[in-house]
Amino acid sequence: MDIVILHINDVYEIAAVNGGKEGGYARLAYLIDSLREENPNLLVVHAGDFLSPSLIGNLKDDSGNKIKGRHMIEAMNASGVDVVTFGNHEFDIKEEELQNRIDESTFKWISANVYHNQQGKKEPFMQKNKCIPPTMTAYFVDGNDTFSLGLVGVTLPFNKKDFVHYGNVELTLKKVLDTISADQTLLLTHLERNQDREVASRFPSVPLIMGGHDHYHFMDTVGSVLVAKADANLRTVWKHNLRYDFESKGLKVNSELIKLNSSIPESKSVLEVVNRWLEFAKERAGSSGFQLDKVVWQGDSVWECRETVIRAQQTNFGHAVANAMKEFTEAEVALLNSGSLRYDDQLTGIITEGDILKALPFGGSVSYTKIKGDDLSNIVWIGLDTNKGTGGYLQIPGATIENGRVLLNGEPIDTGKMYSVCTSRFMASGKESNLEVLKNFSWEIPNREQGSSNDIRHMTIKYLENVN
């Protein structure tokens, strides 16, 4: 028997990206319809991260409520997605918002290790008043034969919210896999690559792990187990061709990476859904002075804004935003918390005003002050070392830590000098982890010529327009 699984992960945009050349749920829907015509034994799975972050998700409807993933659920429902597991970004939104999105889904949610924490009581999340199960079993029929395929979902404990409890991944899998009576069982995971590899080594009887969280495509082989992930934003999808032999009870997996580009047509019905939301976004953004389609930069560079990277190291996109702040305030040092950068992908080819709004959905003004060198040195140390791997990791152009010393532009910070420093209003309010000390300084709003906007998004757009 031949079965096809279409596997996607980490999708933050319902529309095509890279100037419309790649991705988009309308293309995915066309591919799903085409494959289903060839073989009705098709299962479409999503390995998590889709409710947040996005530009549309932070816009408000006519009732004043933020969209918070409603557009994504509508596009996924229309496209024909069958089953998903939680990604860490599903917990960016509020508890009630998440519950609404789950209930709006026509596809199934599964999770073996994610629980709803309600006043210390840990229960499964609910979907339309039914417990979200740890597993699901799909049945495929070929003549008189029926093949049962088990699927288990697990998620890494990356986004720890009070209303969420994560069980240990490996202990959970060990317990749950023993309860499944399907002919074969696969995993749908939202883990880091090394974690997926460890799971593969611990559970060699699982032939295929379909993963998310990493934003680039790969296929790892760990013993006899395959570990696959596709590119973010539907730039690619994995088509896993499964062949099951009823006599030997063996399953063979032959996987094909499909580039979801302009060579694939778009489903008209899903495109209508996507375009309706895009028009909504243009209208709302336009009222704030932005043109979503306006190109602000074009070239061959790859701008790094993936969350796992930008929260652990200095990147060109992080520095572009920080340099835009410096340019606006004429400060010597810019402190930009990586948690404010929410694109969670790489920007290539062109950058539009819409991309800037997606990267900086919270916007906000910029303030400046004077900070003595010894205090600044401590702040930089916290931002680059203590907060590494979190949203409090700072993008600071020119700052490094070498041999236990904080350097600025290659020179040790002068502990007695007063440095002009700029940062966001959020940071200046002392709201970032381990950087509460910033609220103790006297921050001022820059006085700029008429027409200049003290909005970090406008600053970044202006800066990139002048970058070669």
Region 223-231: mean pLDDT is 97
Show Cβ contacts of residue 259 under 8 Å, excluding neighbours closer than 6 positions. Answer: 22, 235, 236
**The domains spanning 2-268 and 290-465 adopt the same CATH topology:** no
Relative orientation angle of helices 95-104 and 70-79, to the nearest 10 degrees: 20
Rounded Cα distance between 368 and 370, Å, is 7
Q: How far is CA 82 from each of CA 23, 36, 97, 108, 139, rounded to the nearest angstrom?
A: 19, 13, 21, 6, 13
**Which residue's entry shows tokens 């200049």?**
452
**Which residue's entry shows tokens 């933050």?**
12
> For the segment 31-45, what is each residue's pLDDT rounded down to a tens digit?
999 999 999 999 999
Of 47, 8, 44, nearest to 190 by C-alpha is 47
Mean pLDDT computed over every residue of the chain: 94
Adjacency order of strands within the sheet including 108-109 = 108-109, 83-84, 42-46, 2-8, 236-245, 250-259
Contact between 336 and 322 under an 8 Å Cβ cutoff? The reply is yes
Q: Is 402 exposed, middle or buried (0-12, 13-18, 19+ CB in 10 A)?
A: exposed
Of 346, 361, 339, 284, nearest to 316 by C-alpha is 346
CATH superfamily assigned to domain 2-268: Metallo-dependent phosphatases (3.60.21.10)
> For the segment 409-460, what is each residue's pLDDT rounded down to a tens digit?
999 999 999 999 999 999 999 989 899 999 999 999 887 665 568 999 999 9
pLDDT confidence band for 231 (50 / 70 / 90): very high
pLDDT confidence band for 271 (50 / 70 / 90): very high
pLDDT computed for residue 160 by the predictor: 83
Among the residue ranges 120-129, 248-257, 338-347, 384-393, the one predicted with the least confidence is: 338-347
Determine the 3-state secondary structure of 227 from DSSP: strand
Domain assignments of the chain as residue spans, ordered by start: 2-268, 290-465
pLDDT computed for residue 14 by the predictor: 96
Region 248-277: mean pLDDT is 97
CATH superfamily assigned to domain 290-465: 5'-Nucleotidase, C-terminal domain (3.90.780.10)
DSSP 239: E
Torsion of CA 79, 84, 90, 93, to 10 degrees: 60
pLDDT computed for residue 451 by the predictor: 53
Region 22-39: mean pLDDT is 97
pLDDT computed for residue 448 by the predictor: 67
Query: What's the start-to-end Cα distance of the chain, in Å?
Result: 55
Rounded Cα distance between 174 and 113, Å, is 11
Q: pLDDT exceeding 70 applies to what percent of the chain?
A: 99
> For the segment 53-85, what is each residue's pLDDT rounded down to a tens digit?
888 998 999 999 999 999 999 999 999 999 999
Determine the 3-state secondary structure of 214 from DSSP: coil
Region 295-315: mean pLDDT is 93
Q: pLDDT exceeding 90 applies to what percent of the chain?
A: 86
